[in-house]
Amino acid sequence: MVSIATAQPNLINLAAPLENRYRQVRQMSEHICQPLAIEDYQIQSIPDVSPPKWHLAHTTWFFETFILIPYLPGYTVFHPQFGYLFNSYYEAVGARHPRHQRGLLSRPTVAEVYRYRAHVDRSMMTLLSATPIDPDLADLIILGLHHEQQHQELLITDIKHILALNPLHPIYRDDLHPHPPDLGSKFEWLAYPGGLYSIGAESHEFAFDNESPRHQTYLQDYKLGSRLVTNSEYLEFIHAGGYQESKYWLAEGWMTVQSQQWRSPLYWEKIDGEWWVMTLSGLKKLESNEPVCHVSFYEADAYATWQGKRLPTEAEWEIAVTNMPQVGNFLDSDLLHPTPANTSHHQFFGDVWEWTQSAYLPYPGFQVADGAIGEYNGKFMCNQMVLRGGSCATSANHIRPTYRNFFPPSTRWQFSGIRLASY
């Protein structure tokens, strides 16, 4: 896997004044898009993917709709129809353009979207320079920044998908140096004692609503693999006929394998008997000791079943990593200077998201926020699985032990991999 992040000190400083932080996050989104051709900004390769242009506009619409319109007196909306075009799923805010048709809009042009961003950024600067900022408003702005950081990760996964389906194998950036952690030689089982634990976010730190409330949960004794499953380990599963044997698979997983004709993870290609993989730096030979990536929950679960093991629950995962130093390969603002990740510790963050066996459900006592912001997370709590840990496409200061990512079990275009668990 191509790492596109570093463990060096964050350039985006959580403690920095909000104004600085706003500017840094917003610049990061544009920095990610800098290598794109205008044409790349347009594509919606599958319904899950949004055109990069849309991400740039939608994150801007979030600040315009939830902050500038209600809180900045005299603010002038940039374009009366952008609310319709760039609302993602907030029913309370009104009608919106159908999601699967985002790739059909040539207008506004990319240049207009950048002007939209500049317009909103100028107004946000006006708002932020007025002192003091009300704490509730500050919280809303910080939510907007986390929202934009989520879309930065989606930008990277979506750009990868857009380029990878192109038979010309275009390169996003060729200065991204792969630096696979040497995972191959060091697997061990880490044992954790059962008992009553607390998980979930403390109320004094930023967290999304779905990480709350912090609550007690009971765990059996359990063990986690000390590292992620590697490409060479996953290849053994393929060679053992993993994709041909129904017995390793959930019923829905097996149906998906057959209807989609899956024979390997997404982006793998067998050329003249050798495995290659499409990366953000183009087509590369498969690296044995990198973590396997772009597998669905179905594949992660089938691999674990084949091994006679299972996936961790999200509580097991969270308890295991609590108090561990946060290391790994994350997205950083300075994409030009990636450096090797520190792998001396057991790697739980960065690299790839780790599928858990937990369905994405509300924590005991979960409360949906009032208003449109309440649509942020709760309404997706059905038919999705939790992933933990963050990936090389996740912003370093965006990740934390309590973070709950979630996707349907068939999802493969995210940077998602496998950690084994056992009793």
Q: How far apart are CA 33 and CA 219, in angstroms?
A: 43
Q: Which of 211, 409, 418, 420 binds a copy of itself (CB under 8 A)?
A: 409
Q: Which of 2, 24, 33, 41 binds a copy of itself (CB under 8 A)?
A: 41
Selection from 256, 210, 218 nearest residue 363 by Cα: 210
- CB–CB of 331/25 below 8 Å? no
Q: Which of 6, 12, 24, 40 binds a copy of itself (CB under 8 A)?
A: 40
Selection from 388, 400, 227 nearest residue 325 by Cα: 400
Residue 98 or 273: the one with the smaller Cβ distance to a copy of itself is 98
Q: Which of 13, 126, 220, 244 binds a copy of itself (CB under 8 A)?
A: 220
Residue 80 or 135: the one with the smaller Cβ distance to a copy of itself is 80
**Is 381 a residue that touches a copy of itself (CB under 8 A)?**
yes
Residue 249 or 349: the one with the smaller Cβ distance to a copy of itself is 249
Q: Which of 27, 275, 362, 400 binds a copy of itself (CB under 8 A)?
A: 362
- CB–CB of 376/119 below 8 Å? no
**Is 244 a residue that touches a copy of itself (CB under 8 A)?**
no
Smallest gap from Cβ 19 to a copy of itself, in A, equals 32
Q: Which of 10, 27, 150, 217 binds a copy of itself (CB under 8 A)?
A: 217
> ∠ at Cα 195 (228, 367), nearest 5°?
80
Q: How far apart are CA 254 and CA 250, in angstroms?
A: 6
**Is 390 a residue that touches a copy of itself (CB under 8 A)?**
no
Residue 332 or 354: the one with the smaller Cβ distance to a copy of itself is 354
59-118 binders of a copy of itself (CB under 8 A): 81, 84-85, 89, 91-92, 97, 103-110
119-138 binders of a copy of itself (CB under 8 A): none
What is the DSSP code (8-state) at residue 300? H
Q: Which of 15, 34, 344, 423 binds a copy of itself (CB under 8 A)?
A: 423
203 exposed, middle or buried (CB, 10 Å; 0-12, 13-18, 19+)? exposed
> φ and ψ at 38, to 5 degrees?
-50, -40
- CB–CB of 216/364 below 8 Å? no
**For the chain, what's the residue count?**
423
111 exposed, middle or buried (CB, 10 Å; 0-12, 13-18, 19+)? exposed
Q: Which of 193, 241, 340, 364 binds a copy of itself (CB under 8 A)?
A: 364
Specify the amino acid at residue 100.
Answer: H
Smallest gap from Cβ 391 to a copy of itself, in A, equals 23
**Is 42 a residue that touches a copy of itself (CB under 8 A)?**
yes
Q: Which stretch binds a copy of itself (CB under 8 A): 61-69, 149-157, 268-276, 372-380?
A: 372-380
CA distances from 335 to 10, 17, 33, 395 (A): 12, 23, 11, 11
> ∠ at Cα 357 (303, 326), nearest 5°?
95
- CB–CB of 316/219 below 8 Å? yes
Binding site for a copy of itself (CB under 8 A): 37-45, 53, 81, 84-85, 89, 91-92, 97, 103-110, 162-163, 165-168, 170, 196, 215-218, 220, 246-247, 249-254, 297-298, 310, 357-359, 361-362, 364-365, 374-375, 379-383, 409, 423
